[in-house]
Structure 1
Amino acid sequence: MDESKGVCVSRLLSLMPGLASFKDYRKEWFKDDVRAAFSVSAVALPVAIAYAQLTGVNALVGLYSCVLPMMVYALFGTSRQLIVGPDAATCAVVAAVVTPLAAGDSIKHWQLAMTMTAMTGFWCLIASRFKLGVLADFLSKPILMGLLNGVAITIIVGQASKILGFSFDERYLLDRIAAAPGYLSQIHWATLAMSLGAVLIFLLVKRFRPTWPAAMLVIVVSTLVAWAANLEQFDVALVGDVSINMPAFQMPAFDIGIARELVMPALNLAMVSFVSMMLTARSFAAKNGYDIDPDKEFRALGIANIASALSQGFAVSGADSRTAVNDASGGKTQLVSLIAALIIGIIAWLFTAPLAFIPSAALGVVLVVASWSLLDLKTLWKLRKRDQRAFLLAMTTFVAVLLIGVIPGITLAVLLGLFQFLQVVMRPSDQCLGLDAKGTLRSLDGSDKAVAVPGVFIYRFNSPLTYFNASYFKRRLLERIAAEPETPECVIIDAVPCFTHPDISVMAMLSDLYALLKRRHIRLILAGRKRQLLSWCEAQGIPTGEGGLLIRSDLYLALKMNQAYKQALADGQAPVLKRPVDLDLVLEHSHL
């Protein structure tokens, strides 16, 4: 009975890793977690309302997008510090996809946002089911850097209209920038004054009270001013009534064909959200000395997005600013998320009336400040000197987001990550190996640290061999052999890095390569993965052993066996090496 109970508990903890921290919770952590929860709530409240406007839905929806997702992640996530919620990049993506499809219908816009959020969650669950947590490493840091900088500039330019008190007629970023001079005459001075006041409050708080929640104070003071001065009479745009009726759970009011338009954008969003979240989660996990599970994080993100959709919210991801606040405030466990979600939920359900007086300009300032933290053009430009390849990838993604929009830019970023991976796998680096003065195998790099073994060509291919790089491997090897001053008597291939799995195309290439070298009177030896290669060659009918393809346990043994073979030929003996002789040849590599 106890054993069965233990198995159930183990399965439950595997499904909900967050329960482990509650199971072993220490009483002394509670004070820190409560303090961190209030700090997180103070940052999350204004940002969530601002991101709701960015997404194009009611301000209250931003709060709903915090409550249930934060609770879900607290149970299913493996990070102790990560806070999930609305994020600048995810909201920009949802808005870019949903706005043209909704065609001005606010209810349709909301339903599409929920549908896209649910699709994003399902994509994450599918990825977790197939253990695709490795995708956290798929979008390289330079690509993500270019993407986030492009998204940040897109948001900042888009919010300029709210800060200055006019509306853009143009949809795309470059069109808006080109038309900017024509909008100068439309600046609403009362709105601009409100915006400048919000910026001043933010700067003063950061200067004199850096530990205070600056964004929250901007919203509170701006709301009080708008209410006391009745700024609506001066045509200053306010959030307005946020007491909304939730859409009933029914078939969407839009055509199912429109929903199909969300499938691929939702996949892109799932990818970008996960990579961005993992960068944040890993950095704080490393700082606090623990590990996270990428596959379980994928599942947690998926469940959090589905929870957001069910609570009528929009897409969420890991929020780096709120996570940083949590860590800086001393948050120890995911109890921070549960308490913060409770605080936000109480405000969303009981204290919605004051939200109606929040000036849109103040929210625009909060969004610009949040986006400014994503903007890091200086580091982007530094890549130019450190890594030209990384700089090109980052700039390509950055320019694509600016020129063709967020969604096509994200698609291009994903494709760039794929092409980068394929290029590394299909056209990897390779080395010729030799021996140094101590008899250790080293790369022949043009220095005098190692020299080639006379009559022997040792080759290493730094990628797993598969059908799409097998021909390149063969061509590259033959080119390297042809470039040698003298034709080698023996070619030894390091099989460990390249022969990782059986592939019919690879084995066919190996058979052709063996036959080609044999016609040139060159012995071919594979070193490493002996048992696997013997079984694979047997399955494909490739002869092995003396008179066939030679397979040895490692590079040093391959060299000694070849040395013994040459000695046997020189002594006029039959060059047949039996197992007892092989064992005698297993010597220290320093004797070579």
Structure 2
Amino acid sequence: MKDRVLARLARIAPGIVAFVHYRREDLRHDVVAGVCVASVALPVGVAYAELAGFNPAVGLYSCMWPLVAYALFGTSRQLIVGPDAATCALIAASIAPLAAVGSPEYMSMSITVAFLAGVFCIAASFVGLGACADFLSRPILTGFMNGIAISIALGQAGKLLGFKIASTGVVGPLIEIATKIGQTHLPTLSVGLCAFALLLLLPKFAPRVPAALATLAAAACVTALLALDTHGVRTIGAVPAGLPSFVAPHFSFDTLDTLAVDAAGIALISFCSATLTARSFAAKNGYDIEDDRELSAIGAANIASALSHGFAISGADSRTAMNDMAGGRTQLASIVAAAAIAFVLIFLTGPLRFVPTAALGAVLVMAAISLVDITTVKALWHEARGEFAICIVATVGVVALGSLKGIMLAVALALFRFIRLVARPSYEVLGRVDGMKGFHSTARHPDARCTPGLCLFRFNSPIVFFNARYFKRTALDVVAETMPKPQWFVLDALAVTGVDVTGRHAIEELREELDQRGVSLVLAGRRTQRLDWLHKHGMDDVTAAQFHFPTLRAAVRSFHAAQRRDAPLSASTPRETQAQAQQQQQ
């Protein structure tokens, strides 16, 4: 009985089952890892709240309850969820045109977007859409992250220089910076440069010290001691103490359609980014994750964030890496991290008001730099120019058009390229090669031997509505180019993984045109599958089924048998020699 209950519970909340079977020897490792994760999540949460246009406390709220929700519903033992640069940039880009940043309406819309994103993720998990993560290819995500990094870095320039930048994109901010450079506030710039220095030096000379946390702490201490806030250095201000109260999403139906579209985009990016991180660390630690369970877990985490005054979240690469590096073994590390953040919210919010925004800007710029992946871009240039172009389009699109429009453009281009590859797939004429078994492409093996009167053809794709005409035209062209004129045209059906109604009509039309030319169309492979289909549709007496051999070898043997009998190699020959070929196979 207990096992059945646990099995059912595992399908809904895998984390709870992991806690039921928790091993005491993992406790020390998970506690240490959880504290380390919190030390990184605290400054990052504050910084990303600033990026998305919220009070710093909102960033901490978004770090806490989502961790608990994911620990209960997720299947990854190492993944840490919370605010991330890409999601925060998407939130700001989505809501800023609809409401003033920092206003109650802005917060309300953010809660609604996070809630809807969570609902979309959970609903999608019930229909098995976890595989959607596979549609955002590595080139698209690399380009997206690079574009987000550029946008974030330019967006923080004003905080580091001490003046506001109103332009968006790349060219506009650069021009505005150039025209306003004389307005630079030197104390603010000094704080930012010192913060950069600490962020660069601490990992080298004190690798065990959380660089972001130590930098913000040092900046807050210097600001408080020297009263820099009275000299024009802007700080984040008072941070409300205490745990967040729970709130229900409140929205206007006038903006619901816009928010729903934004939420769908954020849900897709949030899940795909989290899943890629979870897959990487699962492979590293020797276990598997379940995509659909991950989809529902990310949805639950977003809903938990929305109900606790937070904003949309995703998987966090740096915090997940910290968890793994610190020895985190189970989802309990997330619970410990959430408890540590709650402790800070209750007892330690006072010192946060002295943190200068220039130091936060430096932390965000460093985070943006860590998102840039030049290695993958270089590899794409050398390995696949088409994928490289998609990557660059994603980067330029995000910077020039905004996050959501940029990623939609990149996905559209990737789908167009995929459809183009399937609509115009590769094809091969096959022959025998001395010393090699089977049949091989004559294009790749110039010494391949083809049997006179026999054309073996392989079409490397399903035959469906958008390539059926291309298949028929290509087959007829191959027949016309084959010398001497073939008497059998054998299609390797193993390479044809599927055929729709349009494809079946194209094959029958090809058969009719070949018959007019005195050429027999013969299929090889997937014979049992096709016979089952004919039987299912009441077409057992269709003579086309008799033109089908189980393998290419059987078709070639049948052709040679007909030659030895000096039989006329017409459309009737495959039917007459089918039984003999099957006997030879046996």
Q: Same fold (TM over 0.5)?
A: yes
Within the candidate set 477, 495, 498, 1:497 is matched to 495
Cα offset for 1:150?
Answer: 0.7
Cα separation, 2, equivalents of 1:173 and 1:530: 59
CA contact (8 A) 1:433 1:459 kept: yes
Cα offset for 1:545?
Answer: 6.9
Greater mean alpha carbon deviation, residues 214-223 or residues 442-451: 442-451
CA contact (8 A) 1:149 1:398 kept: yes
1:529 aligns with: 526
1:353 aligns with: 350
2:474 aligns with: 476
Cα offset for 1:325?
Answer: 0.9
Instruction: Provide, for residues 308-344 of structure 1, a one-character-per-residue CA deviation record: whole Å limited to 9, x for no partner.
Output: 1111111111111111111111111111111111111
Within the candidate set 516, 527, 551, 1:519 is matched to 516
Cα offset for 1:182?
Answer: 1.0
Are positions 1:120 and 2:117 aligned together?
Answer: yes
C-alpha change, 1:460 and 1:261, in structure 2 (3 Å) is same
CA contact (8 A) 1:139 1:413 kept: no
Greater mean alpha carbon deviation, residues 379-388 or residues 174-183: 379-388
Within the candidate set 189, 193, 217, 1:196 is matched to 193
Cα separation, 1, equivalents of 2:82 and 2:489: 57
Alignment of 1:138-177 (within 5 A): 138-177=135-174
Instruction: Provide, for residues 535-572 of structure 1, a one-character-per-residue CA deviation record: whole Å limited to 9, x for no partner.
Output: 44567787877677611222222222233233344499
CA contact (8 A) 1:530 1:553 kept: yes
Within the candidate set 33, 40, 45, 1:48 is matched to 45
Cα separation, 2, equivalents of 1:497 and 1:274: 33
CA contact (8 A) 2:555 2:581 kept: no
C-alpha change, 1:282 and 1:572, in structure 2 (3 Å) is closer
Cα separation, 2, equivalents of 1:572 and 1:510: 20
Query: Scaled by the length of structure 2, what TM-score is found?
Result: 0.93
C-alpha change, 1:568 and 1:543, in structure 2 (3 Å) is farther
C-alpha change, 1:289 and 1:572, in structure 2 (3 Å) is closer
Query: Scaled by the length of structure 1, what TM-score is found?
Result: 0.92
Greater mean alpha carbon deviation, residues 256-265 or residues 43-52: 256-265
Greater mean alpha carbon deviation, residues 478-487 or residues 398-407: 478-487
Cα separation, 2, equivalents of 1:317 and 1:564: 64
1:581 aligns with: 580
Local SS of the residue matching 1:227: helix
C-alpha change, 1:99 and 1:571, in structure 2 (3 Å) is closer
Greater mean alpha carbon deviation, residues 208-217 or residues 454-463: 454-463
CA contact (8 A) 1:174 1:403 kept: no
1:560 aligns with: 557
Are positions 1:77 and 2:74 aligned together?
Answer: yes
Greater mean alpha carbon deviation, residues 30-39 or residues 97-106: 97-106
Cα offset for 1:55?
Answer: 0.6
C-alpha change, 1:251 and 1:281, in structure 2 (3 Å) is closer
1:340 aligns with: 337
C-alpha change, 1:8 and 1:247, in structure 2 (3 Å) is closer
C-alpha change, 1:378 and 1:182, in structure 2 (3 Å) is farther
- Where structure 1 has 5 or more consecutive residues not aligned to the other structure, the ranges are 588-592
C-alpha change, 1:547 and 1:374, in structure 2 (3 Å) is closer
Cα separation, 1, equivalents of 2:422 and 2:263: 28
Alignment of 1:51-70 (within 5 A): 51-70=48-67
- Where structure 2 has 5 or more consecutive residues not aligned to the other structure, the ranges are none
C-alpha change, 1:583 and 1:510, in structure 2 (3 Å) is closer
C-alpha change, 1:529 and 1:583, in structure 2 (3 Å) is closer
Cα separation, 2, equivalents of 1:504 and 1:382: 41
Greater mean alpha carbon deviation, residues 298-307 or residues 575-584: 575-584
Cα offset for 1:425?
Answer: 2.4
C-alpha change, 1:560 and 1:18, in structure 2 (3 Å) is farther
Are positions 1:398 and 2:395 aligned together?
Answer: yes
Local SS of the residue matching 1:524: strand
CA contact (8 A) 1:511 1:542 kept: no
Greater mean alpha carbon deviation, residues 261-270 or residues 373-382: 373-382
Are positions 1:213 and 2:210 aligned together?
Answer: yes
Local SS of the residue matching 1:585: helix
Within the candidate set 373, 377, 380, 1:383 is matched to 380
Letter in 2 for 1:233: T
Letter in 2 for 1:350: F
CA contact (8 A) 1:44 1:322 kept: yes
CA contact (8 A) 1:543 1:549 kept: no
2:443 aligns with: 445
CA contact (8 A) 1:426 1:469 kept: yes
Within the candidate set 224, 235, 252, 1:255 is matched to 252
Cα offset for 1:449?
Answer: 5.2
C-alpha change, 1:293 and 1:114, in structure 2 (3 Å) is same
Alignment of 1:220-235 (within 5 A): 220-235=217-232
Instruction: Provide, for residues 153-207 of structure 1, a one-character-per-residue CA deviation record: whole Å limited to 9, x for no partner.
Output: 1000101111111111223332111222112011111111111121122223112
Instruction: Provide, for residues 276-323 of structure 1, a one-character-per-residue CA deviation record: whole Å limited to 9, x for no partner.
Output: 222211111111111111121111111111111111111111111111
Letter in 2 for 1:135: C
Local SS of the residue matching 1:262: helix
Greater mean alpha carbon deviation, residues 558-567 or residues 11-20: 558-567
Letter in 2 for 1:586: Q
Letter in 2 for 1:84: V
Instruction: Provide, for residues 422-478 of structure 1, a one-character-per-residue CA deviation record: whole Å limited to 9, x for no partner.
Output: 223222222222222244222223434532233222222222222222222222222
C-alpha change, 1:560 and 1:572, in structure 2 (3 Å) is closer
CA contact (8 A) 1:544 1:551 kept: no
Local SS of the residue matching 1:416: helix
Local SS of the residue matching 1:240: coil
Cα separation, 2, equivalents of 1:544 and 1:557: 22
Local SS of the residue matching 1:261: helix
Letter in 1 for 2:132: L
Cα separation, 2, equivalents of 1:304 and 1:449: 60
Local SS of the residue matching 1:525: strand
Are positions 1:273 and 2:273 aligned together?
Answer: no
Cα offset for 1:406?
Answer: 1.7
Cα separation, 2, equivalents of 1:499 and 1:505: 15
Alignment of 1:289-308 (within 5 A): 289-308=286-305
Alignment of 1:88-127 (within 5 A): 88-104=85-101, 106-127=103-124
CA contact (8 A) 2:6 2:17 kept: no
1:590 aligns with: none
Cα offset for 1:485?
Answer: 2.9
Cα separation, 1, equivalents of 2:517 and 2:546: 14
Cα separation, 2, equivalents of 1:172 and 1:463: 41
Cα offset for 1:221?
Answer: 0.9
Letter in 1 for 2:450: A
Cα separation, 1, equivalents of 2:480 and 2:178: 64
CA contact (8 A) 1:507 1:537 kept: no
2:428 aligns with: 431
- Percent identity between matched residues is 40
Cα separation, 1, equivalents of 2:274 and 2:119: 17
- Give the aligned CA root-mean-square deviation in angstroms: 2.5
Letter in 2 for 1:175: G
Cα separation, 2, equivalents of 1:19 and 1:453: 65
Within the candidate set 287, 312, 316, 1:315 is matched to 312
